[in-house]
Chain A
Amino acid sequence: MRALPYRTPAFESVLASPWVVDGVPLGERLDQGWDYQTQLAARRRLTIDVARVRREAGLTMADEMVVSSRYRATGSLIRHRGNMESLAAGSPAIADVETEVRIDGADLAGALELETTVTLGSVTPRQQTFVARRPGSILWRRSDLFAVEGGGGLLPVARTSFAGSALPKGAWFISAGTGEWDAPAMGHLLVLLNEDNPGVLAALERTLAGEFTSAVWQALALDIVHTVLSLAADDPDFATTDGETDDEISKAALATRFIRTWYAHPGEEAADALGRLRYDAQNEPARLRAVLQERLHFLGRDLG
């Protein structure tokens, strides 16, 4: 909770509906797909207990309040404001306000954050202390985050066409540079799904039976885990990490998490499991793959 230099009303003095686009929840609409040409008008309704907001914030009846929303993509970071609605003197005690932002697909990258604020508009001069006095002072705010790219998970996953690229034209490509174990995993690992591959495309579009889709993703998961563990096993500079912080997860921390989850025995230290992993990778690579198949229940679930 942030301490402000003035009083603010209780959060529940403003009720906000979910964000919708043409009646569809915004998150659901984004899941249906978007690109740089997409234009979305996202709306939400606010029910504002104007009298309570004024009372609890110490405002006079003459003070104007302003309702507005804005969006910001976590990739491009630039904020874009939507409409502004004024709640001036004479507003009803309970006001229903619709706020709207027009989201330009050209701005989207990473995650999409939408924020709605009720701020102080024009004010009458006042002497009271601990009452908002500057126009623009935030009285109430609510922020909502929506994933728009595969950047929200542990590994960034991108769907793309391999045609015209120098990549082998396989089903997917796991791009993982060697070394730099302290670097953020998000910037150094990337899973590319080849949408030119009929099987991958079918899995992405869910046009085939669920069992088929499940088998595709299980194969991908096995490949990712095997790739990361193999990199860790082969690199003498790799060392397991202790615990995790709130900071961005590093490649080393990601590999350590994989070792703990998919390779270590119950109760076994990650560093000890790494020793076994290195032995298997060098001397019994087929066994390593089989162990990972077992631990990941490869082709052993969701297949009817």
Chain B
Amino acid sequence: MTRLYPRLLPSEVDKAFALLAGLSPHAIELLGLQESGYVFAAAGGDRVSPDELAALRSELTACAREFGYPDTNRIDDLIAFDRTLARWLHRQLDIVPGEASSKAVWGYLGLVVAPHVAAWRFPSREPGYTRERFDGSDLTRNTFSRLWWRAAVLVDEDQPDPYRLVDLLGEEAIDQLMARRRSLAASPGLARAIVREASRRENDLDRSLLRDALQRLLRLSAFMDFEVMDDFELSRTVGEEFDASHQALRGA
């Protein structure tokens, strides 16, 4: 049976985020688990207990510590943290896509369970912390949901390492793909083919090549049904569009 997580009430988001203002990640951790208004989905799974939420908070903190929390946040460490946590969240949360679609679930995780981890991963910059990294308003931006969904889209259980694709691309490249969650990233087979092709071109992959190839694929999706293609056809189609982008940009 899947697990159900607390859903932070919309009226609690402002209050929870305001608590973080001006505090360092460690100071936020010292606040402890704050009392907040939440509900669970009515049915369909087992509710996580307060003890389990406390354990989850400890696990997330321990994971962050491995990569420099709370004192250092070098970019290489943050990328490694993201990759490690993406696998961990997808394997350990035991949350189904329907539940993981709830913005309020991720808002609870980011603002109540582990705001200190989010604050370390996305440090405060003038004028303060970026709200979307904590609340669930954008699932591609929340510190935790972005990683869960990245793993959920790219996981391939037929491979010896199901999460290998999560590690293949840099942060910016993977963000470009996942930002198109409604279109290209909505087809896991296509998303995996894009990551494989992009990583194959690692040496000449830059932001403009990937962006151009994604735009071409997006245009194609208006009249092509990627769902009926097998992996071979998907790889060929994606490869052709990357080739076209490469040619176009080289000639530009």
Contacts and interface: CB of A to CB of B under 8 A. Distances in A.
A68 B187 CA distance: 15
B229 interface: yes
B62 interface: no
Contacts of B103: 187
A23 to B, nearest CB: 25
B10 A190 contact: yes
B101 A178 contact: no
A109 B95 CA distance: 13
Interface stretch (A14-22, A163-171, A273-281): A163-171
Given A68-B225, A179-B14, A165 B186 contact: no
A164 B53 CA distance: 14
A213 B9 CA distance: 26
B92 interface: no
Given A135-B233, A187-B103, A36 B96 contact: yes
A38 B104 CA distance: 22
Given A109-B102, A136-B226, A187-B10, A79 B96 contact: no
B42 interface: yes
Indicate the size class of the contact surface on chain A: 35 or more
A180 B11 CA distance: 11
B142 to A, nearest CB: 13
A203 interface: no
A197 interface: no
Contacts of A180: 14
A73 B98 contact: yes
B137 A175 contact: no
A2 B221 CA distance: 12
Given A78-B186, A79-B227, A35 B97 contact: no
B39 A158 contact: yes
Contact of B228 (A78, A84, A161, A178): A84
Interface stretch (B30-38, B76-84, B200-208): B30-38
B29 interface: no
A286 to B, nearest CB: 25
B98 A106 contact: yes
B2 A36 contact: yes
Contacts of A119: 225, 228
B229 to A, nearest CB: 5
Contact of A138 (B47, B96, B224): B224
Contacts, number: 150
Query: Among the interface residues A75, A78, A121, which one has the most CB atoms of the partner chain B within 10 A?
Result: A78
Contacts of B152: 78
A38 B45 CA distance: 11
A123 to B, nearest CB: 12
Interface in B130-157: 137, 152-153
Contacts of A35: 41-45
A245 interface: no
B11 A79 contact: no
A116 to B, nearest CB: 10
Nearest to A179: B14
Interface string A148-159: 000000000011
Query: Among the interface residues B35, B185, B223, B237, which one has the most CB atoms of the partner chain A within 10 A?
Result: B223
B237 A160 contact: no
A106 B1 CA distance: 10
B216 interface: no
B223 A110 contact: no
B219 to A, nearest CB: 10
A246 B100 CA distance: 27
A159 B42 contact: yes
B9 A190 contact: yes
A105 B98 contact: yes
A227 to B, nearest CB: 11
A5 B39 contact: no
A143 interface: no
Contact of B14 (A165, A173, A177): A177
A106 to B, nearest CB: 4
A234 to B, nearest CB: 14
Interface of B: 1-2, 6, 9-14, 35-45, 47, 96-104, 137, 152-153, 181-182, 185-188, 222-229, 233, 237
13 contacts: A37-B1, A38-B44, A73-B98, A78-B188, A79-B186, A135-B228, A160-B39, A161-B40, A165-B37, A165-B38, A175-B37, A187-B103, A192-B9
